[in-house]
Each structure stands twice: as structure tokens, then as C-alpha cells.
């Protein structure tokens, strides 16, 4: 798959790897990068051969958020640039696409994740970080509020007290602090990050893929619903999960005392 600002490869595997590819700028985000990410996540959703996705950055950064060289050139005075329009046509649909993608996405945080780069990591289903990784809600440092879903995603992960601390101070936290706070699932020595991510992705790719999608949908729904609504939604989604071939395979494998061979169907 040929792109300008990302690198995506699958190589006869159910795992699609997406690398942000502007290493000299710590993978700062441009509109082209957002378009390319939307396109590659669309492919990931529609192609049945993809059963898990890794998102990482090339070089020493994961992603430094919006490219500020581009931001500086915006024609603000004459009203030609609208932040609202920019967000609603670029970052917002990307974040929604990631959350609505019915397959697991693992953020492999190889270095600093700042601003919308941190938001992108938060929009993934798993975050595993290198010991040298760090996280910051950089927005406030340049007079902006957290966006790209950070107000919603961060608060759900760490609670209001810690979310406001990070959002209002813009301070950088280490990978180990992020682990303590429940922002990341795992912290690994830098050299072990990619092999561990690939192993996790392979495990997830061998799981009942459709069910993972329903799990993601159910948890996102429940985070803003009442208990009664969540129970009802669980019943709806179980109606669908219970009719997958993988459910039948799961039962058969259990009763046959053998490992299940899920096909994602």
C-alpha cells in the first residue's frame, strides 16, 4: 500500500501494521496523514483478511500531534480557516472510524505521544508502550483545549481528577506513570516492544474477530448508557454473536477438549 505520510503492510498475515512516517517531525500530523489514516482504516474494516491492527510511529516518536508549521500558516484573520471545520472534517471522523472499526487496534507507543497523537493512542483498544515513551496533552501549551476525543477518552481511562491535571498542566508523563494511571496496558523495554506487540496482535487475530468487534461496540455504548440500556444492548449484540460460526467452534472446541480454531466468521 503506497502512501506519502504513513507506511502500511500486511504481508500474508491477518495483522495490518500502520506506521506513521514523518520521523523528522516526530510524526506530526498533516491533513494528508489524516486522509491516509482514514483510508487505511477503511481498508482494515472492509477487508476480511485483516483481523488486528498495529499503529506505531517511525523514528523516536509515536506522534507529536498537529503539525505546528502548518498551523502557523493558517489564514486566521480573514476568517478563511475554521478550527471547527478543520476538526469536524479531519480528526473527528478519523477518531470515530477507529472507535467504530469492529477489529482490535493496538497502539504501539514507541516514543512521545503528544496532543492529537495522544488522542489517537487513546482511541485504540490496547496501548503498549516502550519504557522511553511519554504522553502529554500538549494542547494547553499552545492555548488549545484537548481535542480528537481526548476529553472523552482520557476521562474514561483515568477519571476526572487526573484527566484535568494532564489537560490543564500539559505536563509530560512517563510510560510507567501512564501504566500506573491505567492509560497503557503494558510497558516494555524498548527492544522488546515490537515483538511483544506482534505477539499480542497475533493472539487477537486468532480470536473470534466479529465478537471482538461486538465487545468494542458494547463497551463504548455502555460508557454513556444506563444499566438498563446496556443490558438491552448486550442482549441485542449477543443475539448476533451467538449466531456466528466462531461461537459454534468455541463450544465444539471446549467439548472436544481441543484449542478453538476461530476463523473470524
Contacts with ligand T3D by CB under 6 A lie at: 25-26, 28, 64-69, 71, 83, 86-87, 112, 114-116, 138-139, 141-142, 144, 147
The CA radius of gyration of the chain, in Å to the nearest whole number, is 19
- The nearest distance, CB 60 to ligand T3D, in angstroms, is 7
- The nearest distance, CB 197 to ligand T3D, in angstroms, is 21
Distance in angstroms (rounded) separating the CA atoms of residues 158 and 182? 6
**Cell numbers placing 135:** 504522553
Q: Where are the alpha helices (DSSP H) in the chain?
A: 31-46, 68-72, 83-89, 91-100, 116-122, 150-169, 175-180, 193-205, 209-222, 227-241, 245-256
Looking at beta carbons only, is 167 or 230 nearer to ligand T3D?
A: 167
Distance in angstroms (rounded) separating the CA atoms of residues 145 and 138? 9
In sequence order, what are the beta bridge partners of 15? 52
- The nearest distance, CB 22 to ligand T3D, in angstroms, is 9
Question: Is residue 46 within 8 Å of residue 39, measured between CB atoms?
Answer: no
Looking at beta carbons only, is 137 or 244 nearer to ligand T3D?
A: 137
- The nearest distance, CB 264 to ligand T3D, in angstroms, is 34
Distance in angstroms (rounded) separating the CA atoms of residues 162 and 174? 14
- The nearest distance, CB 111 to ligand T3D, in angstroms, is 8
- The nearest distance, CB 166 to ligand T3D, in angstroms, is 13
Looking at beta carbons only, is 1 or 76 nearer to ligand T3D?
A: 76
Q: What is the 8-class DSSP label of residue 123?
A: T
DSSP 176-243: HHHHHTTS-SEEE-GGGHHHHHHHHHHHHHTS-HHHHHHHHHHHHHHTTS-HHHHHHHHHHHHHHHTT
Looking at beta carbons only, is 63 or 205 nearer to ligand T3D?
A: 63
Looking at beta carbons only, is 109 or 201 nearer to ligand T3D?
A: 109
Looking at beta carbons only, is 15 or 133 nearer to ligand T3D?
A: 133
- The nearest distance, CB 99 to ligand T3D, in angstroms, is 17
Looking at beta carbons only, is 69 or 261 nearer to ligand T3D?
A: 69
Per-residue CA distances from 96 to 41, 59, 176 (Å): 11, 27, 28
Amino acid at each position: 500500500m503506497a502512501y506519502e505520510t504513513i507506511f502500511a503492510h500486511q504481508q500474508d498475515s491477518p495483522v495490518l501494521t500502520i506506521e506513521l512516517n514523518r520521523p523528522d517531525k516526530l510524526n506530526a500530523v498533516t491533513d494528508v496523514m489524516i486522509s491516509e489514516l482514514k483510508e487505511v482504516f477503511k481498508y482494515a474494516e472492509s477487508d476480511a483478511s485483516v483481523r488486528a491492527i498495529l499503529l506505531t510511529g517511525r523514528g523516536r516518536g509515536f506522534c507529536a500531534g498537529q503539525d505546528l508549521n502548518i498551523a502557523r500558516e493558517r489564514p486566521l484573520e480573514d476568517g478563511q480557516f475554521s478550527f471547527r471545520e478543520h476538526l469536524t472534517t479531519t480528526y473527528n471522523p478519523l477518531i470515530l472510524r477507529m472507535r467504530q472499526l469492529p477489529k482490535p487496534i493496538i497502539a504501539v507507543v514507541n516514543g512521545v505521544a503528544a496532543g492529537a497523537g495522544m488522542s489517537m493512542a487513546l482511541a485504540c483498544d490496547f496501548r503498549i508502550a516502550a519504557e522511553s515513551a511519554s504522553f502529554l496533552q500538549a494542547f494547553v501549551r499552545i492555548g488549545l483545549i484537548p481535542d480528537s476525543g481526548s476529553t472523552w477518552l482520557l476521562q474514561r481511562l483515568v477519571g476526572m481528577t487526573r484527566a484535568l491535571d494532564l489537560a490543564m498542566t500539559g505536563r509530560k508523563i512517563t510510560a510507567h506513570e501512564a501504566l500506573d494511571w491505567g492509560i497503557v496496558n503494558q510497558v516494555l523495554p524498548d527492544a522488546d516492544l515490537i515483538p511483544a506487540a506482534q505477539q499480542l496482535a497475533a493472539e487477537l487475530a486468532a480470536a473470534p474477530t466479529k465478537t471482538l468487534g461486538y465487545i468494542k461496540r458494547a463497551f463504548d455504548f455502555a460508557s454513556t448508557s444506563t444499566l438498563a440500556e446496556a443490558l438491552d444492548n448486550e442482549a441485542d449484540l449477543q443475539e448476533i454473536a451467538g449466531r456466528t460460526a466462531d461461537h459454534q467452534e468455541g463450544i465444539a472446541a471446549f467439548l472436544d477438549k481441543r484449542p478453538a480454531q476461530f476463523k473470524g466468521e
